[in-house]
A and B are shown apart, each in its own frame.
Chain A
Amino acid sequence: MTPIQSVLPAITPVLPEIVLSVGALLLVLYGAWRGERSSEGVNVGALILLIFTFFLVVSQTGSVTTLNGAFIADPFARIMKALILIGSAATILLSRDYFQRERIDRFEYPILIVLCTIGMLVMASANDLISLYLGLELQSLAAYVIAAFHRDDVKSTEAGLKYFVLGALSSGMLLYGASLVYGFTGTVSFPGIVTALDGPSSFGIVLGIVFVAAGVAFKLAAVPFHMWTPDVYEGSPTPVTAFFGSAPKIAAMAMTVRVFIGAFPDVTAVWQQIIVFISIASMALGSFAAIGQRNIKRLMAYSSIGNVGYALIGLAAGSEEGIRGVVIYMIIYLAMTLGAFAVLLSMRRKDQMFETIDDLSGLSRTHPWLAFCLAAMMFSLAGIPPLAGFFAKFYVFAAAIKAGLVTLAVVGVVTSVVGAFYYLRLVKVMYFDEPKAPYERIPPGSAIVLGVSSAVVVLFFLIPAPLVSAAGDAAKSLF
C-alpha cells in the first residue's frame, strides 16, 4: 500500500472554528466531570470562549480559501461571523438569570449554544454545498434541542418537536435542490458552479435553485415557509427565542447571500423573481398578521418575518449596494431584537414571567428607563428617523431603486407604515395606559445587553461611518 501524502491545508483562517470546537469539547468534559454544579463555570467559560473567538475573527484580514476550497474567509464572512458571535454571547448573558429562576439551569445549554455557533460560522464561510449543508445541520440540530430545553413544559416540547419535523423537511428540500445543482453542474464548489453555469441554463438548474431557495427561505422564516415561526418563538424559553431571533437569522442570511451571490451570480434572472416574491410576501404578512397579536413573543416572531422581508430587498437588488444594505440591516436588526428581548426578559414579578402587551401598561411610570429603551427599539423597528432602523431600511430601499425594483421599494414603504401601527401601539400602552404593579429589578445580564443595543440604536446616526464602511468592504468582497 502506498502511503498517503497530503499537504496540510492552511489552518489559520479556520482558527476561530477550531478554537470554538476545542473549547466546546473542553466544556463538555468539565461539565461531565463536575456534574450539575458546573453550570456557573460552563456559562462563564462559554462566554469567554465566544468573546475570545470574536476578537480572533476581527483580527483576521484578507480573503483566502482553504481546506480544498470548502472554506472561505473573506470580509463578508468575517462581519457576519462577528455578528453571530455577538448574538450568541448576548444570548448567554440574557439566559443565565431566566434559567436559574425556572430551575432548568443545566450545563448543557451554553455548550449547545457554542456548538450551534460553530455551525453558524461554518455556514457564513461555506464555499461549497457540502460545508453549507453540514453547517446548517449542526446549527439546526442544536437549535431543535434548545427549543425543547424546558422539557417539562408542554409548549416548549411542542416547539422543539415542530421545529424539528419542519426543519428536517426543509433540510430535505435544500438537499434535493443541492443534489440537482450538483447533478447538472458536476461540482459542489461555488466557484465551480459559477464556471459550469457559464452558458444557457437548463431546466434542471432552475428546479435545483427553486428547491435550494425553498430550503433557505425556511431557515430564514420567510413567507411562504414561515408557519413554524410564531409557535416556535412562543413555545421556546424566552432567552432561546431571543437567540432564534438574533444569531441564526444572521447565519441564515449569510448563507442565502453566499448561495445566491456566490454560486449563482450569472443566473440572476432565475432567482431574482423568487426573492422578490418571498420579500414582498414576508413584508406583507409580517405587518398585517402581527396586528392581532397580544403576546409579545408572537409579535416579535411576525416582526422577524417582516424584517427578513426588508433585508431580502437588498439581496433581490443583486448588486454590491444591495448586499451592503443587507449587511447594515442585519447589524441593526441584531441590536433591535436583542434590546427588545432584554426588556421582555425583565418583565418578572415573583417568579412569574409576563409576556403580553397589556402587561406593559404604564411601564413608563414604574420603570422609566426600561420603557424609554423599549420605545427606542419600537420607533427604530417602525423605521422612524433618526433611529437606526430608519437607516437600515433606507440603504436597502435605495439599492432596490437603483437596481430598478421600484415596486419592491414602494411595497416596502407601504408595509412599514402598516407595521408602524403595532410597534407604536406598544409605545402607547407603555406611556398612556394605567400603570400596574412594578416588576422586579432587571437582571444584570439583560441590563448590559439592553444598554449596548440601545446605544447602537439611538446613536447610530451620529457615527454611522465605521459600520457602513465595514459593510461596504464586506459587500465588495463578494463581487
Chain B
Amino acid sequence: MTAAAAFFYLFAGFAVASGFMVIAARNPVTSVLFLILAFVNAAGLFVLMGAEFLAMILVVVYVGAVAVLFLFVVMMLDVDFAALRQGFQRYLPIGGLIGAIFLIELVLVVGTWTIDPGLVQAPLGRAAHGETATNTEALGRVLYTDYVYAFQIAGLILLVAMIGAIVLTLRERTGVKRQNITVQNARTQGMAVDTIKVPSRQGVEV
C-alpha cells in the first residue's frame, strides 16, 4: 500500500466518521466542531487529488466562514435540539420512504454511469493547460476569459445580496448621539476649558 492510499483511507475514514458524529452528537456545539473536522478531512482528500486550490477554498470558506457562522448561531440562539428531535419517531415512516426512493434513484443513476477513462487519469486543469500551470493559475485563466460572463453576473448577485441586507435590516434611529470625529479633533483648549479668575472670598457663578 502506497503512502497516498494510506492517506486516502485516513482522510476518508475521518470524514465519514465525523460526518456521522455531526448528526449523532447530543450537543450542537460538538456537532459543529465535528462538521469542521469533516471539512478539513475533505480538504485533505482534495489535496490528494491534486486540487490544491479547492482544498484551500474549502478550508477558507467552509471552515473559516460558514462553520464559524454556524457556531455563532448555535451559541447565540440556544436552540434546544432535543425538542427538535421530538417528532423523529412520528416522521420516521414518511422520511424513511422518501429516503429509500432517493436511494433507489441514486443507485439507478450510478448504475448507468460510465466514466470516460481519460478523465480518471489526468486532472482537468493540468491536462488542459500544460503541466506547469497550478490550479489557481488554470482557474484564473478560464475565469477571466471563457467564464467572464458568469463571473460578472455572480458579482451582480453579490451586489443584490448586499443591497437586500441593507434594505431589510438598516434602520434610522432617532435620538442617538453620534460621535463626530472631525469636531472632536478640532477641539482646542479654549473650547474645552474656561479659565475664570476667582476673586478671593466672593466665589463665581457657574
Could you list which residues of chain A lie within 8 angstroms of chain B, going by C-beta atoms?
A: 1, 4, 6, 9, 14, 21, 24-25, 28, 67-68, 70-71, 106, 108, 111-112, 115, 118-119, 122, 130-131, 134-135, 137-138, 141-142, 144-145, 148-149, 151, 160, 180, 183-184, 186, 202-204, 207
B168 is contacted by which of A134, A148, A183 (Cβ under 8 Å)?
A: A148
Report B109-137 CB contacts with A as 1/0, cut-off 8 Å: 10011001000000000000000000001
Q: A6: shortest Cβ distance to chain B, in Å?
A: 4
Chain B interfacial residues counted at CB < 8 A? 28
Closest to B151 in A: A134
A-B contacts, 10 listed (Cβ < 8 Å): A9-B148, A21-B152, A28-B163, A70-B150, A108-B163, A112-B167, A118-B156, A135-B153, A138-B156, A204-B112
In the complex, which residues of chain B have a beta carbon less than 8 angstroms from the beta carbon of A119?
A: 153, 156
B61 at the interface (CB under 8 A from A): no
**In the complex the two chains form, what is the Cα distance from A147 to B170 in whole Å?**
17
A137 is contacted by which of B116, B141, B157, B163 (Cβ under 8 Å)?
A: B157
B167 is contacted by which of A70, A108, A137, A207 (Cβ under 8 Å)?
A: A108
**In the complex the two chains form, what is the Cα distance from A145 to B144 in whole Å?**
30
Known pairs A4-B141, A144-B164; A68 contacts B109 (CB<8 A): no
Closest to B108 in A: A203
Query: Is the pair B156, A21 in contact by a Cβ cutoff of 8 Å?
Result: yes
In the complex, which residues of chain A have a beta carbon less than 8 angstroms from the beta carbon of B192?
A: none
Known pairs A202-B112, A204-B109, A207-B105; A111 contacts B153 (CB<8 A): no
Known pairs A67-B149, A204-B109; A149 contacts B157 (CB<8 A): no
3 tightest CB-CB pairs across the interface, nearest first? A145-B164, A6-B145, A67-B149
Most B Cβ at <10 Å: residue of A14, A160, A207: A207
B24 at the interface (CB under 8 A from A): no
Q: B156: shortest Cβ distance to chain A, in Å?
A: 6
Most B Cβ at <10 Å: residue of A108, A144, A160, A183: A108
B65 at the interface (CB under 8 A from A): no
In the complex, which residues of chain B have a beta carbon less than 8 angstroms from the beta carbon of A9?
A: 148
Query: Is the pair B161, A68 in contact by a Cβ cutoff of 8 Å?
Result: no
Q: A214: shortest Cβ distance to chain B, in Å?
A: 13
B159 at the interface (CB under 8 A from A): yes
User: Which label, helix, strand, loop or mixed, suits the secondary structure of the A interface?
Assistant: helix
Could you list which residues of chain B lie within 8 angstroms of chain A, going by C-beta atoms?
A: 105, 108-109, 112-113, 116, 137, 141, 144-150, 152-154, 156-157, 159-161, 163-164, 166-168
Query: Is the pair A145, B167 in contact by a Cβ cutoff of 8 Å?
Result: yes
User: Which label, helix, strand, loop or mixed, suits the secondary structure of the B interface?
Assistant: helix
Q: A256: shortest Cβ distance to chain B, in Å?
A: 20
**In the complex the two chains form, what is the Cα distance from A207 to B137 in whole Å?**
35
Query: Is the pair A141, B141 in contact by a Cβ cutoff of 8 Å?
Result: no
Most A Cβ at <10 Å: residue of B109, B112, B153, B160: B160
**In the complex the two chains form, what is the Cα distance from A142 to B164 in whole Å?**
7
**In the complex the two chains form, what is the Cα distance from A130 to B161 in whole Å?**
19
In the complex, which residues of chain B have a beta carbon less than 8 angstroms from the beta carbon of A71?
A: 149
Q: A428: shortest Cβ distance to chain B, in Å?
A: 41
Query: Is the pair B150, A138 in contact by a Cβ cutoff of 8 Å?
Result: no
Query: Is the pair A145, B112 in contact by a Cβ cutoff of 8 Å?
Result: no
B160 is contacted by which of A1, A115, A207 (Cβ under 8 Å)?
A: A115
**In the complex the two chains form, what is the Cα distance from A460 to B156 in whole Å?**
38
Closest to A180 in B: B109
Closest to A210 in B: B105
Query: Is the pair B168, A145 in contact by a Cβ cutoff of 8 Å?
Result: yes
A112 is contacted by which of B137, B141, B148, B164 (Cβ under 8 Å)?
A: B164
B164 is contacted by which of A130, A135, A141, A207 (Cβ under 8 Å)?
A: A141
Query: Is the pair B161, A141 in contact by a Cβ cutoff of 8 Å?
Result: yes
**In the complex the two chains form, what is the Cα distance from A207 to B163 in whole Å?**
37
**In the complex the two chains form, what is the Cα distance from A4 to B146 in whole Å?**
12
Known pairs A202-B112, A204-B112; A145 contacts B153 (CB<8 A): no
In the complex, which residues of chain B have a beta carbon less than 8 angstroms from the beta carbon of A111?
A: 163
In the complex, which residues of chain B have a beta carbon less than 8 angstroms from the beta carbon of A138?
A: 153, 156-157, 160
